[in-house]
Structure 1
Protein backbone atom coordinates (compact mmCIF):
# COMPACT_ATOMS: atom_id res chain seq x y z
CA UNK A 1 0.00 0.00 0.00
CA UNK A 2 1.29 3.44 -0.91
CA UNK A 3 0.12 7.08 -0.93
CA UNK A 4 1.16 9.41 -3.75
CA UNK A 5 1.03 13.18 -3.28
CA UNK A 6 1.14 14.75 -6.73
CA UNK A 7 0.11 17.57 -9.03
CA UNK A 8 -1.84 17.31 -12.27
CA UNK A 9 -1.03 19.29 -15.40
CA UNK A 10 -3.60 20.60 -17.89
CA UNK A 11 -4.79 18.10 -20.51
CA UNK A 12 -2.63 15.29 -19.13
CA UNK A 13 -3.02 12.19 -16.96
CA UNK A 14 -0.76 10.80 -14.26
CA UNK A 15 0.01 7.08 -14.62
CA UNK A 16 1.26 4.63 -11.99
CA UNK A 17 2.26 1.02 -12.72
CA UNK A 18 1.71 -1.64 -10.05
CA UNK A 19 2.30 -5.39 -9.98
CA UNK A 20 -0.51 -7.61 -8.73
CA UNK A 21 -1.41 -11.29 -8.44
CA UNK A 22 -4.52 -13.02 -9.72
CA UNK A 23 -7.32 -12.79 -7.16
CA UNK A 24 -5.81 -9.81 -5.34
CA UNK A 25 -7.88 -6.73 -4.69
CA UNK A 26 -6.55 -3.48 -6.17
CA UNK A 27 -8.04 -0.32 -4.67
CA UNK A 28 -7.43 3.33 -5.47
CA UNK A 29 -8.89 6.31 -3.61
CA UNK A 30 -8.15 9.86 -4.71
CA UNK A 31 -8.38 12.99 -2.57
CA UNK A 32 -8.85 15.97 -4.85
CA UNK A 33 -11.53 18.26 -3.48
CA UNK A 34 -10.67 17.09 0.04
CA UNK A 35 -7.04 18.04 -0.51
CA UNK A 36 -8.28 21.62 -0.74
CA UNK A 37 -9.94 21.70 2.68
CA UNK A 38 -7.21 19.71 4.39
CA UNK A 39 -4.15 21.42 2.95
CA UNK A 40 -5.48 24.82 2.06
CA UNK A 41 -4.65 24.35 -1.60
CA UNK A 42 -6.70 23.98 -4.74
CA UNK A 43 -7.77 20.39 -5.39
CA UNK A 44 -8.89 18.64 -8.56
CA UNK A 45 -12.21 17.04 -9.46
CA UNK A 46 -10.59 13.64 -9.98
CA UNK A 47 -11.13 10.69 -12.28
CA UNK A 48 -9.43 7.35 -11.59
CA UNK A 49 -9.16 4.25 -13.77
CA UNK A 50 -7.49 0.84 -13.52
CA UNK A 51 -6.25 -0.71 -16.79
CA UNK A 52 -4.22 -3.73 -17.82
CA UNK A 53 -1.04 -3.30 -19.87
CA UNK A 54 -3.08 -3.62 -23.08
CA UNK A 55 -4.98 -0.50 -21.95
CA UNK A 56 -8.26 -2.34 -21.43
CA UNK A 57 -10.23 -0.66 -18.64
CA UNK A 58 -11.04 -2.89 -15.66
CA UNK A 59 -12.71 -0.30 -13.43
CA UNK A 60 -13.14 3.47 -13.24
CA UNK A 61 -14.84 6.16 -11.19
CA UNK A 62 -15.48 9.88 -11.45
CA UNK A 63 -17.92 10.90 -8.72
CA UNK A 64 -19.01 8.62 -5.86
CA UNK A 65 -22.11 8.82 -3.62
CA UNK A 66 -20.00 8.81 -0.45
CA UNK A 67 -17.26 11.25 -1.46
CA UNK A 68 -19.16 13.23 -4.13
CA UNK A 69 -16.52 14.73 -6.47
CA UNK A 70 -13.73 12.66 -4.97
CA UNK A 71 -13.68 9.04 -6.06
CA UNK A 72 -12.50 5.53 -5.29
CA UNK A 73 -12.48 2.28 -7.20
CA UNK A 74 -11.68 -1.37 -6.47
CA UNK A 75 -11.42 -4.48 -8.62
CA UNK A 76 -10.25 -8.09 -8.37
CA UNK A 77 -7.15 -8.72 -10.48
CA UNK A 78 -7.89 -11.29 -13.23
CA UNK A 79 -4.30 -12.49 -13.79
CA UNK A 80 -0.74 -11.97 -12.61
CA UNK A 81 1.01 -8.99 -14.13
CA UNK A 82 1.40 -5.24 -14.23
CA UNK A 83 -1.53 -2.84 -14.14
CA UNK A 84 -1.87 0.88 -14.81
CA UNK A 85 -3.59 3.36 -12.51
CA UNK A 86 -4.66 6.60 -14.23
CA UNK A 87 -5.37 9.76 -12.21
CA UNK A 88 -6.45 13.01 -13.83
CA UNK A 89 -8.76 15.97 -13.51
CA UNK A 90 -12.16 14.95 -14.88
CA UNK A 91 -12.21 18.07 -17.08
CA UNK A 92 -8.46 17.97 -17.86
CA UNK A 93 -7.99 21.37 -16.19
CA UNK A 94 -5.08 20.33 -13.98
CA UNK A 95 -2.73 22.69 -12.12
CA UNK A 96 -3.82 21.29 -8.77
CA UNK A 97 -2.76 18.83 -6.11
CA UNK A 98 -4.12 15.38 -5.44
CA UNK A 99 -3.42 12.53 -3.04
CA UNK A 100 -3.86 8.96 -4.34
CA UNK A 101 -3.97 5.91 -2.07
CA UNK A 102 -3.10 2.73 -4.03
CA UNK A 103 -3.02 -0.77 -2.58
CA UNK A 104 -4.77 -4.01 -1.69
CA UNK A 105 -6.83 -2.48 1.12
CA UNK A 106 -10.60 -3.17 1.25
CA UNK A 107 -12.77 -0.28 0.05
CA UNK A 108 -16.48 -0.94 0.65
CA UNK A 109 -18.97 1.64 -0.58
CA UNK A 110 -21.13 1.78 2.56
CA UNK A 111 -21.25 0.56 6.17
CA UNK A 112 -24.42 -0.66 7.88
CA UNK A 113 -25.55 0.47 10.37
CA UNK A 114 -24.29 4.01 9.88
CA UNK A 115 -23.44 4.42 13.55
CA UNK A 116 -24.23 3.32 17.07
CA UNK A 117 -24.45 4.32 20.70
CA UNK A 118 -21.32 5.92 22.11
CA UNK A 119 -19.23 3.58 24.25
CA UNK A 120 -20.81 0.35 22.93
CA UNK A 121 -19.49 -2.43 20.69
CA UNK A 122 -21.18 -2.51 17.28
CA UNK A 123 -21.00 -5.06 14.46
CA UNK A 124 -20.89 -3.40 11.05
CA UNK A 125 -21.61 -4.94 7.66
CA UNK A 126 -19.30 -3.49 5.02
CA UNK A 127 -21.07 -3.50 1.66
CA UNK A 128 -19.77 -3.07 -1.88
CA UNK A 129 -16.21 -4.44 -1.73
CA UNK A 130 -15.36 -6.35 -4.95
CA UNK A 131 -14.36 -9.43 -2.91
CA UNK A 132 -17.73 -9.49 -1.19
CA UNK A 133 -19.45 -8.02 1.85
CA UNK A 134 -17.88 -8.67 5.25
CA UNK A 135 -18.49 -7.89 8.91
CA UNK A 136 -16.38 -6.60 11.74
CA UNK A 137 -16.90 -5.42 15.30
CA UNK A 138 -15.50 -2.32 16.92
CA UNK A 139 -16.07 -0.38 20.10
CA UNK A 140 -17.22 3.18 19.56
CA UNK A 141 -15.52 5.89 21.65
CA UNK A 142 -17.38 6.99 24.75
CA UNK A 143 -16.46 10.64 24.24
CA UNK A 144 -16.05 12.61 21.00
CA UNK A 145 -12.41 13.24 20.16
CA UNK A 146 -12.75 14.83 16.74
CA UNK A 147 -10.83 17.99 15.96
CA UNK A 148 -13.06 20.81 14.82
CA UNK A 149 -10.21 22.96 13.56
CA UNK A 150 -6.86 22.80 11.78
CA UNK A 151 -3.73 24.92 11.68
CA UNK A 152 -2.94 27.27 8.80
CA UNK A 153 0.58 28.30 7.78
CA UNK A 154 1.39 31.98 8.17
CA UNK A 155 3.93 33.90 6.08
CA UNK A 156 5.64 36.36 8.44
CA UNK A 157 8.02 39.23 7.80
CA UNK A 158 8.63 42.64 9.45
CA UNK A 159 5.39 43.97 7.92
CA UNK A 160 3.20 41.37 9.68
CA UNK A 161 1.66 38.05 8.67
CA UNK A 162 -0.21 36.81 5.58
CA UNK A 163 -2.51 33.76 5.92
CA UNK A 164 -4.39 31.95 3.15
CA UNK A 165 -7.69 30.73 4.64
CA UNK A 166 -9.51 28.97 1.81
CA UNK A 167 -8.95 28.24 -1.89
CA UNK A 168 -12.04 27.24 -3.85
CA UNK A 169 -12.35 25.44 -7.20
CA UNK A 170 -14.31 28.24 -8.88
CA UNK A 171 -14.93 31.09 -6.42
CA UNK A 172 -11.48 32.48 -5.77
CA UNK A 173 -9.41 32.64 -2.61
CA UNK A 174 -9.95 34.05 0.90
CA UNK A 175 -7.05 35.35 2.98
CA UNK A 176 -6.20 37.82 5.70
CA UNK A 177 -3.09 39.80 6.52
CA UNK A 178 -1.77 42.16 9.15
CA UNK A 179 0.36 45.28 8.81
CA UNK A 180 2.42 46.67 11.65
CA UNK A 181 2.40 50.44 12.32
CA UNK A 182 4.45 52.37 9.78
CA UNK A 183 4.47 49.56 7.20
CA UNK A 184 2.63 48.91 3.94
CA UNK A 185 1.70 45.86 1.87
CA UNK A 186 1.24 45.64 -1.86
CA UNK A 187 3.24 47.77 -4.24
CA UNK A 188 2.21 45.63 -7.21
CA UNK A 189 -0.43 45.13 -9.89
CA UNK A 190 -2.19 42.16 -11.51
CA UNK A 191 -2.86 41.36 -15.15
CA UNK A 192 -6.11 39.44 -14.61
CA UNK A 193 -6.73 39.17 -10.87
CA UNK A 194 -9.37 41.24 -9.07
CA UNK A 195 -9.35 41.70 -5.30
CA UNK A 196 -11.65 42.99 -2.58
CA UNK A 197 -9.94 44.53 0.46
CA UNK A 198 -11.71 45.02 3.80
CA UNK A 199 -10.01 46.59 6.82
CA UNK A 200 -11.50 44.99 9.94
CA UNK A 201 -9.18 46.55 12.55
CA UNK A 202 -7.04 49.67 12.52
CA UNK A 203 -6.72 52.70 10.25
CA UNK A 204 -5.36 52.62 6.71
CA UNK A 205 -4.97 54.46 3.45
CA UNK A 206 -5.31 52.36 0.30
CA UNK A 207 -3.45 53.89 -2.63
CA UNK A 208 -4.06 52.99 -6.28
CA UNK A 209 -2.10 54.25 -9.31
CA UNK A 210 -3.18 53.84 -12.94
CA UNK A 211 -0.34 52.23 -14.89
CA UNK A 212 -0.89 54.25 -18.08
CA UNK A 213 -2.03 57.69 -16.92
CA UNK A 214 -0.35 57.79 -13.52
CA UNK A 215 -3.62 58.88 -11.89
CA UNK A 216 -3.39 58.40 -8.11
CA UNK A 217 -6.38 57.55 -5.90
CA UNK A 218 -6.16 57.50 -2.09
CA UNK A 219 -8.94 55.89 -0.06
CA UNK A 220 -8.90 56.29 3.75
CA UNK A 221 -10.61 53.44 5.58
CA UNK A 222 -10.77 51.85 9.02
CA UNK A 223 -12.25 48.99 10.97
CA UNK A 224 -14.70 51.41 12.58
CA UNK A 225 -16.33 52.00 9.20
CA UNK A 226 -16.30 48.74 7.20
CA UNK A 227 -15.75 49.45 3.52
CA UNK A 228 -14.76 47.15 0.65
CA UNK A 229 -12.17 48.55 -1.75
CA UNK A 230 -11.85 46.86 -5.16
CA UNK A 231 -8.57 46.49 -7.01
CA UNK A 232 -8.64 45.72 -10.73
CA UNK A 233 -6.05 45.00 -13.44
CA UNK A 234 -4.23 48.08 -14.67
CA UNK A 235 -3.93 49.69 -11.24
CA UNK A 236 -0.96 49.27 -8.91
CA UNK A 237 -2.04 49.29 -5.29
CA UNK A 238 -0.82 49.18 -1.71
CA UNK A 239 -2.33 49.23 1.79
CA UNK A 240 -0.67 51.58 4.30
CA UNK A 241 -1.08 51.35 8.07
CA UNK A 242 -1.32 54.98 9.20
CA UNK A 243 -2.46 54.18 12.74
CA UNK A 244 -0.60 53.29 15.93
CA UNK A 245 -2.06 49.77 16.20
CA UNK A 246 -1.80 46.60 14.16
CA UNK A 247 -3.89 46.66 10.97
CA UNK A 248 -5.98 43.56 10.19
CA UNK A 249 -7.29 43.16 6.64
CA UNK A 250 -9.55 40.57 4.98
CA UNK A 251 -8.82 39.84 1.32
CA UNK A 252 -10.76 38.04 -1.42
CA UNK A 253 -9.28 37.39 -4.86
CA UNK A 254 -11.15 36.02 -7.84
CA UNK A 255 -8.19 33.80 -8.79
CA UNK A 256 -6.08 31.30 -6.88
CA UNK A 257 -2.54 32.41 -6.16
CA UNK A 258 -0.18 30.10 -8.06
CA UNK A 259 3.47 30.40 -6.90
CA UNK A 260 4.62 28.79 -10.17
CA UNK A 261 2.82 31.44 -12.26
CA UNK A 262 2.25 34.46 -10.00
CA UNK A 263 0.09 37.25 -11.41
CA UNK A 264 1.76 39.76 -9.09
CA UNK A 265 4.08 42.30 -10.71
CA UNK A 266 5.99 44.76 -8.47
CA UNK A 267 5.22 48.41 -9.16
CA UNK A 268 5.57 51.53 -7.04
CA UNK A 269 2.40 53.39 -6.14
Structure 2
Protein backbone atom coordinates (compact mmCIF):
# COMPACT_ATOMS: atom_id res chain seq x y z
CA UNK A 1 0.00 0.00 0.00
CA UNK A 2 2.77 2.46 -0.92
CA UNK A 3 0.53 5.39 -1.80
CA UNK A 4 -1.72 4.63 1.15
CA UNK A 5 1.26 4.54 3.48
CA UNK A 6 2.64 7.92 2.39
CA UNK A 7 -0.83 9.46 2.39
CA UNK A 8 -0.82 10.36 -1.32
CA UNK A 9 -3.76 8.23 -2.43
CA UNK A 10 -5.03 10.87 -4.85
CA UNK A 11 -1.68 11.16 -6.61
CA UNK A 12 -1.27 7.41 -6.79
CA UNK A 13 -4.70 7.01 -8.35
CA UNK A 14 -4.12 9.75 -10.94
CA UNK A 15 -0.77 8.28 -11.92
CA UNK A 16 -2.14 4.74 -12.24
CA UNK A 17 -5.11 5.79 -14.35
CA UNK A 18 -2.97 8.07 -16.55
CA UNK A 19 -0.76 5.11 -17.43
CA UNK A 20 -3.80 3.11 -18.60
CA UNK A 21 -5.04 5.63 -21.19
CA UNK A 22 -3.39 5.33 -24.60
CA UNK A 23 -2.63 8.41 -26.72
CA UNK A 24 -5.03 7.07 -29.36
CA UNK A 25 -7.85 6.89 -26.80
CA UNK A 26 -7.17 10.51 -25.88
CA UNK A 27 -7.14 11.63 -29.51
CA UNK A 28 -3.41 12.36 -29.60
CA UNK A 29 -1.78 11.70 -33.01
CA UNK A 30 0.87 8.95 -33.04
CA UNK A 31 4.49 9.86 -33.48
CA UNK A 32 7.78 10.07 -31.64
CA UNK A 33 9.23 7.78 -29.01
CA UNK A 34 7.25 7.50 -25.79
CA UNK A 35 9.16 6.56 -22.66
CA UNK A 36 6.14 6.22 -20.40
CA UNK A 37 3.05 4.00 -20.64
CA UNK A 38 -0.18 5.80 -21.34
CA UNK A 39 -0.34 9.59 -21.30
CA UNK A 40 2.34 12.03 -20.24
CA UNK A 41 1.56 14.39 -17.36
CA UNK A 42 1.60 17.42 -19.62
CA UNK A 43 -0.85 15.73 -21.99
CA UNK A 44 -3.31 15.08 -19.18
CA UNK A 45 -2.95 18.68 -18.03
CA UNK A 46 -3.53 20.05 -21.54
CA UNK A 47 -6.60 17.90 -22.15
CA UNK A 48 -8.04 18.76 -18.72
CA UNK A 49 -7.45 22.50 -19.17
CA UNK A 50 -5.06 22.93 -16.24
CA UNK A 51 -1.39 23.88 -16.07
CA UNK A 52 1.24 21.10 -16.18
CA UNK A 53 2.76 22.45 -12.95
CA UNK A 54 -0.56 22.20 -11.13
CA UNK A 55 -1.14 18.66 -12.36
CA UNK A 56 2.37 17.71 -11.24
CA UNK A 57 1.57 19.06 -7.76
CA UNK A 58 -1.56 16.90 -7.66
CA UNK A 59 0.29 13.71 -8.58
CA UNK A 60 3.08 14.37 -6.10
CA UNK A 61 0.71 15.16 -3.27
CA UNK A 62 1.71 18.80 -2.92
CA UNK A 63 -1.85 19.96 -3.57
CA UNK A 64 -4.64 17.81 -2.19
CA UNK A 65 -7.57 20.15 -2.52
CA UNK A 66 -8.47 20.33 -6.22
CA UNK A 67 -11.86 21.79 -7.09
CA UNK A 68 -14.72 19.53 -8.22
CA UNK A 69 -14.43 21.13 -11.66
CA UNK A 70 -10.79 20.07 -11.96
CA UNK A 71 -11.63 16.55 -10.82
CA UNK A 72 -14.47 16.27 -13.31
CA UNK A 73 -12.12 17.34 -16.10
CA UNK A 74 -9.53 14.79 -15.01
CA UNK A 75 -12.18 12.07 -14.82
CA UNK A 76 -13.15 12.85 -18.41
CA UNK A 77 -9.55 12.78 -19.68
CA UNK A 78 -8.78 9.57 -17.78
CA UNK A 79 -11.96 7.95 -19.14
CA UNK A 80 -13.31 7.05 -15.71
CA UNK A 81 -16.68 5.37 -15.40
CA UNK A 82 -19.23 6.40 -12.76
CA UNK A 83 -17.76 4.16 -10.05
CA UNK A 84 -14.21 5.34 -10.74
CA UNK A 85 -15.29 8.99 -10.90
CA UNK A 86 -17.02 8.71 -7.54
CA UNK A 87 -13.91 7.10 -6.11
CA UNK A 88 -11.73 9.95 -7.44
CA UNK A 89 -14.01 12.58 -5.90
CA UNK A 90 -13.92 10.70 -2.61
CA UNK A 91 -10.11 10.66 -2.57
CA UNK A 92 -10.01 14.44 -2.90
CA UNK A 93 -12.52 15.04 -0.11
CA UNK A 94 -11.04 12.51 2.33
CA UNK A 95 -9.71 14.06 5.52
CA UNK A 96 -7.38 12.65 8.19
CA UNK A 97 -9.27 10.87 10.93
CA UNK A 98 -8.28 9.45 14.29
CA UNK A 99 -7.46 5.73 14.35
CA UNK A 100 -10.55 3.57 14.60
CA UNK A 101 -10.82 1.04 17.37
CA UNK A 102 -10.75 -2.47 16.01
CA UNK A 103 -13.60 -4.78 16.87
CA UNK A 104 -14.25 -8.35 15.80
CA UNK A 105 -16.67 -9.24 13.05
CA UNK A 106 -19.50 -11.43 14.28
CA UNK A 107 -22.04 -13.50 12.40
CA UNK A 108 -25.57 -12.59 13.59
CA UNK A 109 -27.46 -15.49 15.14
CA UNK A 110 -30.17 -15.22 12.48
CA UNK A 111 -27.52 -15.73 9.80
CA UNK A 112 -26.59 -19.10 11.31
CA UNK A 113 -30.25 -20.08 11.21
CA UNK A 114 -30.56 -18.94 7.61
CA UNK A 115 -27.47 -20.90 6.54
CA UNK A 116 -28.89 -24.03 8.14
CA UNK A 117 -32.13 -23.74 6.14
CA UNK A 118 -30.70 -22.82 2.74
CA UNK A 119 -30.29 -25.72 0.32
CA UNK A 120 -28.00 -23.73 -2.00
CA UNK A 121 -24.34 -22.77 -1.37
CA UNK A 122 -24.24 -19.85 1.06
CA UNK A 123 -21.65 -18.34 3.35
CA UNK A 124 -20.95 -15.22 5.39
CA UNK A 125 -17.85 -13.16 4.69
CA UNK A 126 -16.20 -10.17 6.37
CA UNK A 127 -14.85 -6.99 4.80
CA UNK A 128 -11.48 -8.60 4.06
CA UNK A 129 -13.19 -11.62 2.45
CA UNK A 130 -12.64 -13.89 5.44
CA UNK A 131 -15.16 -16.75 5.47
CA UNK A 132 -16.89 -16.47 8.84
CA UNK A 133 -19.57 -19.16 8.44
CA UNK A 134 -20.84 -21.45 5.68
CA UNK A 135 -23.32 -24.22 5.03
CA UNK A 136 -22.60 -27.77 3.74
CA UNK A 137 -23.60 -27.00 0.11
CA UNK A 138 -21.03 -24.17 0.06
CA UNK A 139 -18.25 -26.45 1.26
CA UNK A 140 -19.35 -29.11 -1.22
CA UNK A 141 -19.05 -26.49 -3.95
CA UNK A 142 -15.57 -25.49 -2.77
CA UNK A 143 -13.57 -26.56 0.31
CA UNK A 144 -12.08 -23.04 0.24
CA UNK A 145 -15.44 -21.83 1.58
CA UNK A 146 -14.90 -23.41 4.97
CA UNK A 147 -14.91 -21.01 7.93
CA UNK A 148 -11.40 -19.75 8.62
CA UNK A 149 -10.45 -19.49 4.94
CA UNK A 150 -9.79 -16.19 3.21
CA UNK A 151 -11.29 -16.02 -0.28
CA UNK A 152 -8.76 -13.53 -1.63
CA UNK A 153 -5.77 -15.52 -0.38
CA UNK A 154 -7.19 -18.75 -1.81
CA UNK A 155 -7.94 -17.04 -5.10
CA UNK A 156 -4.37 -15.92 -5.70
CA UNK A 157 -2.32 -18.55 -3.88
CA UNK A 158 -4.24 -21.83 -4.26
CA UNK A 159 -3.81 -23.58 -7.66
CA UNK A 160 -7.03 -25.55 -7.12
CA UNK A 161 -9.00 -22.31 -6.73
CA UNK A 162 -7.44 -20.94 -9.90
CA UNK A 163 -8.43 -24.08 -11.83
CA UNK A 164 -11.93 -23.84 -10.34
CA UNK A 165 -12.74 -20.61 -12.22
CA UNK A 166 -13.35 -20.75 -15.96
CA UNK A 167 -12.02 -17.21 -16.48
CA UNK A 168 -9.65 -16.75 -13.57
CA UNK A 169 -7.84 -13.80 -15.19
CA UNK A 170 -10.97 -11.66 -15.52
CA UNK A 171 -12.21 -12.73 -12.09
CA UNK A 172 -8.87 -11.76 -10.53
CA UNK A 173 -9.09 -8.23 -11.89
CA UNK A 174 -12.62 -7.83 -10.53
CA UNK A 175 -11.67 -9.27 -7.15
CA UNK A 176 -8.78 -6.83 -6.61
CA UNK A 177 -10.93 -3.91 -7.78
CA UNK A 178 -13.59 -4.96 -5.25
CA UNK A 179 -10.93 -5.03 -2.54
CA UNK A 180 -9.95 -1.43 -3.38
CA UNK A 181 -13.58 -0.39 -3.02
CA UNK A 182 -13.99 -2.30 0.23
CA UNK A 183 -10.92 -0.71 1.81
CA UNK A 184 -12.01 2.82 0.92
CA UNK A 185 -10.36 5.22 3.35
CA UNK A 186 -9.74 2.48 5.93
CA UNK A 187 -6.16 2.11 4.74
CA UNK A 188 -4.67 1.79 8.23
CA UNK A 189 -6.82 -1.22 9.11
CA UNK A 190 -4.28 -3.87 10.21
CA UNK A 191 -6.23 -6.70 8.58
CA UNK A 192 -6.17 -4.99 5.19
CA UNK A 193 -2.50 -4.04 5.56
CA UNK A 194 -1.62 -7.63 6.47
CA UNK A 195 -3.61 -9.17 3.61
CA UNK A 196 -2.41 -6.77 0.90
CA UNK A 197 1.17 -7.11 2.12
CA UNK A 198 1.06 -10.91 2.05
CA UNK A 199 -0.45 -11.07 -1.42
CA UNK A 200 1.87 -8.41 -2.81
CA UNK A 201 4.86 -10.49 -1.67
CA UNK A 202 3.44 -13.81 -2.88
CA UNK A 203 1.66 -13.05 -6.16
CA UNK A 204 3.00 -11.15 -9.16
CA UNK A 205 -0.50 -11.04 -10.63
CA UNK A 206 -1.87 -9.42 -7.49
CA UNK A 207 0.94 -6.82 -7.48
CA UNK A 208 0.19 -5.92 -11.10
CA UNK A 209 -3.55 -5.57 -10.52
CA UNK A 210 -3.11 -3.67 -7.25
CA UNK A 211 -0.90 -1.11 -9.03
CA UNK A 212 -3.70 -0.35 -11.50
CA UNK A 213 -5.89 1.16 -8.74
CA UNK A 214 -9.04 -0.28 -10.34
CA UNK A 215 -12.26 0.02 -8.37
CA UNK A 216 -15.62 -1.63 -8.95
CA UNK A 217 -19.03 -1.71 -7.35
CA UNK A 218 -19.58 -4.40 -4.75
CA UNK A 219 -22.33 -6.43 -6.33
CA UNK A 220 -23.32 -9.88 -7.47
CA UNK A 221 -22.95 -11.42 -10.89
CA UNK A 222 -22.70 -14.73 -12.69
CA UNK A 223 -19.78 -17.16 -12.81
CA UNK A 224 -18.83 -20.41 -14.51
CA UNK A 225 -16.75 -22.85 -12.48
CA UNK A 226 -15.30 -26.31 -13.02
CA UNK A 227 -16.12 -28.60 -10.11
CA UNK A 228 -13.87 -31.69 -9.83
CA UNK A 229 -16.88 -33.99 -9.23
CA UNK A 230 -19.84 -32.65 -11.25
CA UNK A 231 -18.04 -30.62 -13.90
CA UNK A 232 -19.07 -27.21 -15.23
CA UNK A 233 -21.53 -25.11 -13.22
CA UNK A 234 -23.06 -21.81 -14.27
CA UNK A 235 -24.15 -19.94 -11.15
CA UNK A 236 -25.51 -16.57 -10.15
CA UNK A 237 -24.05 -14.83 -7.10
CA UNK A 238 -25.80 -12.34 -4.84
CA UNK A 239 -24.37 -10.45 -1.87
CA UNK A 240 -26.74 -9.39 0.88
CA UNK A 241 -25.63 -7.15 3.80
CA UNK A 242 -26.29 -8.49 7.29
CA UNK A 243 -25.26 -5.91 9.88
CA UNK A 244 -21.47 -5.54 9.41
CA UNK A 245 -21.00 -8.72 7.36
CA UNK A 246 -22.17 -10.03 3.97
CA UNK A 247 -24.26 -13.09 3.14
CA UNK A 248 -23.20 -14.57 -0.21
CA UNK A 249 -25.40 -17.07 -2.04
CA UNK A 250 -24.81 -19.04 -5.23
CA UNK A 251 -27.74 -20.40 -7.23
CA UNK A 252 -28.38 -21.75 -10.75
CA UNK A 253 -31.19 -21.11 -13.20
CA UNK A 254 -34.15 -23.25 -12.18
CA UNK A 255 -34.33 -26.67 -13.88
CA UNK A 256 -31.04 -26.06 -15.68
CA UNK A 257 -28.21 -28.57 -16.03
CA UNK A 258 -26.37 -26.69 -13.28
CA UNK A 259 -29.45 -26.94 -11.06
CA UNK A 260 -29.40 -30.72 -11.38
CA UNK A 261 -25.67 -30.85 -10.68
CA UNK A 262 -26.02 -28.61 -7.64
CA UNK A 263 -28.72 -30.92 -6.26
CA UNK A 264 -26.32 -33.81 -6.72
CA UNK A 265 -23.63 -31.89 -4.85
CA UNK A 266 -26.06 -31.21 -2.00
CA UNK A 267 -26.82 -34.93 -1.77
CA UNK A 268 -23.12 -35.76 -1.77
CA UNK A 269 -22.55 -33.18 0.96
CA UNK A 270 -25.05 -35.04 3.16
CA UNK A 271 -23.40 -38.42 2.57
CA UNK A 272 -19.79 -37.26 2.40
CA UNK A 273 -18.26 -38.91 -0.73
CA UNK A 274 -16.66 -35.67 -1.88
CA UNK A 275 -14.58 -35.53 1.27
CA UNK A 276 -15.93 -32.09 2.05
CA UNK A 277 -16.94 -31.80 5.66
CA UNK A 278 -20.02 -29.69 6.36
CA UNK A 279 -19.25 -26.07 7.10
CA UNK A 280 -19.92 -24.90 10.61
CA UNK A 281 -20.19 -21.44 12.12
CA UNK A 282 -16.94 -20.11 13.51
CA UNK A 283 -15.45 -16.98 14.90
CA UNK A 284 -13.55 -14.93 12.30
CA UNK A 285 -9.85 -15.77 11.89
CA UNK A 286 -8.91 -12.12 12.32
CA UNK A 287 -10.74 -9.28 14.06
CA UNK A 288 -11.18 -6.63 11.39
CA UNK A 289 -13.05 -3.53 10.43
CA UNK A 290 -14.28 -0.54 12.36
Q: TM-score range by the shorter chain?
A: under 0.3
Q: TM-score, normalised by structure 2?
A: 0.23
Instruction: From the CA coordinates, give the structure whose radius of gyration is larger.
Output: 1
Larger proportion of helix: 2
Please give the TM-score of this superposition, normalised by the length of structure 1.
0.25
Greater share of residues in strand: 1
Question: Higher RCO, 1 or 2 (CA under 8 Å, sep at least 6)?
Answer: 2
